[in-house]
Amino acid sequence: MAHHVVTLVGSLRKESFSLKIANALAKLAPSSLKLEVVTLHGVSFFNQDLEATPPADWSAFREKLQRSNGVLFVTPEYNRAIPGVLKNAIDVGSRPYGKSSFNGKPIGIISNAPGQLGGVNAAKNLQNILPGLAGPIMQQPEIYLNAVGDAFDDKGELVKESLRTVLQAYIDLFAVHAEKHNA
């Protein structure tokens, strides 16, 4: 049976590179993984005052995470950190205190940018936020995708072979990580 992995896209932009990368990963995933690409359009702002009776979108998001066998984060970098929409989703998914929906889930982190730095700060930001909220974070390989601006055609299909090679290696190793931590 394939491990169900929620792949959280850290950008709301319709043509985001993160969404295209997440979709490419879903196609490249080995048969031992089934990636569900999840955008964060429907996750409302976290407000602890609502915790006693959480909004339906929070409950649905938390349940999706709880049913999964792992979580992949695919995110751009905004102002040297993760986008606010992704931080909000982490806040929603990690509450109520002590009942994080990410708890125990094997985690993967992929950051990206059209420029040369590949979203390194976003990945490092996630590496600072997630311990204590989530399960084991895959340590190697770290993946910061740069120069992704020309990696996809006008239909969103991956056309850059060097990126395909990197993504294939990563998702194959994430499958091993997920298997190890779901045994």
Residue 150 is part of a domain; what is its CATH number?
3.40.50.360
User: What percent of the chain clears pLDDT 70, i.e. is strictly above it?
Assistant: 100
- Any domain includes 4: no
What is Dmax (Cα atoms) for the chain?
Answer: 49
CA distances from 151 to 7, 91, 100, 123, 146 (A): 19, 31, 35, 20, 10
Six-digit token pair at 62? 């938390």
pLDDT of residue 1: 80
Q: 31 in a domain, yes or no?
A: yes
**Is the pTM for the entire model greater than 0.95?**
yes
Q: How far apart are CA 142 and CA 165, in angstroms?
A: 15
Q: Please enumerate, as own/partner, the contacts of 137-142 that have beta carbons within 8 Å and a separation of 24 or more.
A: 137/107, 137/108, 137/109, 138/106, 138/107, 138/108, 138/109, 138/173, 138/174, 138/177, 140/173, 141/169, 141/170, 141/173, 142/109
Q: Over range 149-174, report the average pLDDT.
A: 96
The domain in which residue 167 lies consists of 11-44+54-173
Count of the separate structural domains present in the chain: 1
- 181 within a domain of the structure (yes/no): no
Q: Domain for residue 182, yes or no?
A: no
Can you state the angle between helices 56-67 and 84-93, rounded to 10 degrees? 80
pLDDT the model gives residue 10: 98
23 belongs to a structural domain: yes
Residue 75's beta-bridge partner residues?
Answer: 111
Whether 125 is in a domain gets the answer yes
The pLDDT assigned to 183 comes to 72
Report yes or no on 95 lying in a domain.
yes
Q: Judge whether 161 lies within some domain.
A: yes
